[in-house]
């Protein structure tokens, strides 16, 4: 995801309502999120679907890594050599 550009990617709700189609097009084209404000405060973030899916994939990967690290620290992992034995044993 591209970094947000503060001068272009923060818009009030009233402007968003008036230009929904153009904002959707811009988010899809730039791959940058759009922050929508309401009464001067951030209220929502709009992302391109592809960027949202990419974020979910990253979150899932990081969650899996965190889980694996926790399992290893609790002695629940197996060595590389043991994995090789299991894989080679299944091939033969």
Q: pLDDT, tens digit, for every residue of 62-78? A: 999 999 999 989 989 88
For 49, the domain range is 10-77
Q: Supply the CATH number for residue 65's domain.
A: 3.40.1620.10
1 domain residue, yes or no: no
Cβ(71)–Cβ(77) under 8 Å?
Answer: yes
pLDDT at 91 over 70: no
pLDDT at 92 over 90: no
For residue range 30-61, list pLDDT tens digits in order. 999 999 999 999 999 999 999 999 999 999 99
What pLDDT was estimated at residue 15? Answer: 97
- Mean pLDDT computed over 12-34: 96
Residue 50 makes CB contacts below 8 A (sequence gap 6+) with 31
- Is the full-model pTM beyond 0.85? no
Number of domains in the chain: 1
For residue 43, the tally of other CB atoms under 10 A from its CB is 13
4 domain residue, yes or no: no
Cβ(11)–Cβ(20) under 8 Å?
Answer: no
């Amino acid at each position: 995801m591209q970094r947000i550009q503060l001068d272009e990617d923060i818009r009030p709700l009233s402007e968003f309502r008036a230009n929904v189609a153009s904002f959707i097009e811009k988010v899809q084209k730039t791959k940058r999120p759009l922050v929508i404000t309401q009464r001067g405060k951030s209220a929502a973030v709009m992302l391109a679907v592809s960027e949202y899916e990419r974020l979910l994939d990253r979150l899932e990967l990081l969650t899996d890594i965190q889980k694996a690290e926790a399992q290893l620290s609790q002695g629940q992992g197996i060595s590389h050599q043991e994995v090789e034995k299991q894989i080679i044993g299944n091939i033969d």
